[in-house]
Amino acid sequence: MTKFDELDRLDTLLTPFSSIGRYGMLITAGGGVAREQWNTMTASWGSFGVYWQRKTVTAVIRHSRYTFEFVEKEPLVTFSFFAPERKNVLAVCGKISGRDADKAKEAGITPVLLEPGAVGFAEAELNVVCKKIYSDDMPPDNFLDPGINKFYETNDYHRMYICEVLRWYQEKL
């Protein structure tokens, strides 16, 4: 890959609370870069951490999302982070469905195959390639804080994915 450098350390590149919670990320799954082979979605919920002595990214995806179908069938998931001035990319990808429109074209981004089965974006500052290692639905009976229910008024619950970080690619400067 010529546009990106593979990195040795991820922890020096981002701060999870602002990178995910404040700015957001794209979650992408698919086997190729043709429009029908992948889909992406905007997310501002998730975390970086360690499970089973592995570096991980945890993400949640509602069953109703088109990206859910791709994440369910593909072993790899990519998390892409953009510069704050590119927040329009996340806004566009969060408003339209890949079922109905070409998200890449609408957002002005270019899907790239970072490695077999891992789609990222040429315009991203950072693409994190992960392998799914755990998933589970988040049933409402498990919510310990009743305030969480306000996020599920339509009963469209999330599935949680814990994904092992395999590689990360930073835009070449």
Question: Taking Cα atoms as reference points, which of 173, 170, 172 lies closest to residue 19?
Answer: 170
Estimate to the nearest angstrom the gap between the alpha carbon of 39 and the chain centroid: 10
Q: Considering the chain, what percentage of its residues have pLDDT values greater than 70?
A: 86
Domains of the chain with CATH codes: 4-171 (2.30.110.10)
Q: What is the pLDDT of residue 15?
A: 62
Average pLDDT of the segment spanning 126-150: 96
Q: Record the pTM.
A: 0.90
Dump pLDDT digits (tens) for 1-29: 446 555 555 555 666 656 666 678 999 99
Q: What is the pLDDT of residue 173?
A: 41
Distance CA(56)–CA(131), nearest Å, equals: 9
